[in-house]
Structure formats: structure tokens, C-alpha cells
Amino acid sequence: MRRSAAWLALVAVLVPGGCQSAPPVPADPNRPAVTSAALGELSPRMTLEVERRLPHDPTAFTQGLEFHDGQLYESRGEYGSSAITRIDPETGATITSTPLPEDHFGEGLTVVGDQIWMLTWRAGVAYTFDRETLAETGQVSYDGEGWGLCDEPDRLVMSDGSDTLTFRDPSSFEVIGEVAVTRDGSPILNLNELECLDGLVLANVWQTDEILIIDPATGQVVTTIDASGLLSQADRQGLSDPRNAVLNGIAYDLDREVLLVTGKLWPAMFEVRLTPQ
Ligand code: DDQ
Ligand code: CA
């Protein structure tokens, strides 16, 4: 006993910073390593490397962003300026736009077949639009708030500002299930814009610089992405409404294999790559 204690003391002296450095966080034995075909091997904490900065309309209150067949769709919020739009992925310019009524605050969107589903914040109305013309094709009502939306092969995934992700039928919008999102056992509230990718769900957390990668089968967060620092100091100084100009907008282009992120009222979109933190 005495001998091993002395040995440990010697190691502590010899290893630089041995006594001061925090012990490594033990790997959670219940959390299997996750690899995404699109994003590669996922570690619990990751950050973003900017590959390309692209323009974004700084008046666009981005609530949803999604690529479909190389086209980029953006849904926009705020009372009086909510709209479903198709934008140029290179310039951010609006190509086509259909406004919502002034009393509807637009939220997330997702493309399913030749239709787009788009949420409203507190009106309890989900719209459908034709993917080509952006003409309205229908409305359904739902309970509670609408925040983010994305689509898996046979279901929609929706957030409502809580820690719950709700699964819905992609044709009827009926609720078919739900999961509570947790990180290390604690609920994560304010889940906002979503992106479904490789059986995982990426989610902005409202008013933070975090993007979570969630396993929708368990609700467990497998990766926390630190997305801070995308906007420069000059960008921040030019924002029209800094309080509302939060990270929001995640879209993966399957054709070009590009992950694009932006924010509400941001002057730029960023093509990014994940790297371990
Ligand atoms: N949400 O998109 C996170 C769901 C809501 C954002 C609300 C931002 C406040 C804008 C001012 C609202 C005026 C009633
Ligand atoms: Ca999205």
C-alpha cells in the first residue's frame, strides 16, 4: 500500500500539471459512438469550421431553412412579414415568395414530395404550399405552438419550444408519437429550427449558439455543437434587431453534401464543417 501511494505521489510530481488538471470526463458507457453518413463521426462536443460565407437577406426573420432537389427554401416570421420563400443559395436573394396573413407568425418548414409544410407560432395553423409555385394548397389546425419542422422518410418531426419533439403523419399532420429530449439526463427546452439527417435530428436551441444532434429514438443528445462566433463584430454592429437576431436555420444539401446555417436577420449564411472541439 505504502509503496503504491509513494509511486502515485511521484507520478503526480513528474506529470506536468498532473495535480491541477481536471480529470477527463468519463465516456458514457450507455452512449454508443454515432457516425452520420453525411456528417462523419460525431463526438459529444463539436464546433463549426466555416468553409464559405454567403450573403443572406438581413431583413429575413429566418424560421426554417431546407434544401430540396438543390432548391433552397426559407420560411420567415414576424407579424406582417411572414412568408414562405425560395431563395438563391449563392446570393440569398428571394426568388419566389408567398406572404402569410398579417396575424400569422411564420415558423419552421419542410418539403414533402411536391408540397411544403409550414408552421405558425401561435395560430395553430399549418399551411401547405406547392413546392414549385409556392401557392397555398391547404391548411390544417394543431394544438399548441409551432417552432421547427423537418421530415424523415415516413414522418415529420416538430418542435414547439419545449423539450418535446412530436412525430406527425406527413400527409394528415396527425400526431403519431413524441420523444422528450435530454442531455446527460436533463431536459433541453426551447428546441427550435430542425434538420432531419441520417436518422438524426439537428436542432437549434433558441437564444443560444448551440446546435444539438439528437437521436430521435431515445431523445438523447449525442452531440452538442458550439456554433458561436459565426458573425463578426462588424456583423453584430449592423444588426437591425440584435435581441431577435439569433442563430436559426439549418439545412443540409444532399446533392452538394453541404451543411448550411444562418440566423434570424443575419447578413450571412455559412457553409460549415463539423470538427471535434
Ligand atoms: N419563436 O420563433 C422562437 C417561436 C418565437 C420568436 C418570437 C420573437 C419575438 C418577436 C416579437 C413578437 C411580438 C409578439
Ligand atoms: Ca431545416
Domain ranges of the chain: 40-270
SS3 state of residue 11: helix
**CA gap 159, 212 in Å, rounded:** 13
For residue 29, the model assigns a pLDDT of: 54
Global pTM reads 0.89
Residue 261 CA, ligand 1 centroid: distance in Å: 19
Ligand nearest to the CA of 203: 2
Residue 78 CA, ligand 1 centroid: distance in Å: 7
**CA gap 11, 13 in Å, rounded:** 5
CATH topology of domain 40-270: Neuraminidase (2.120.10)
CA distances from 81 to 75, 78, 100, 128, 146 (A): 10, 6, 8, 18, 17
Rounded to two decimals, the ipTM of the complex is 0.93
Ligand nearest to the CA of 116: 2
Q: What angle do CA 142, 253, 170 make, to 5 degrees?
A: 25
Burial 90-119, CB ≥16 within 10 A → b, else e: eebebebebebeeebbbbbbbbeeebbbbb
pLDDT per position as a tens digit, 151-161: 999 999 999 99
**Does the CB atom of residue 67 touch ligand 1 within 6 A?**
no
pLDDT per position as a tens digit, 9-43: 443 444 444 444 444 444 555 566 799 999 999 99
**CA gap 155, 19 in Å, rounded:** 51
pLDDT per position as a tens digit, 196-214: 999 999 999 999 999 999 9
**CA gap 145, 276 in Å, rounded:** 34
How many residues in the chain?
Answer: 277
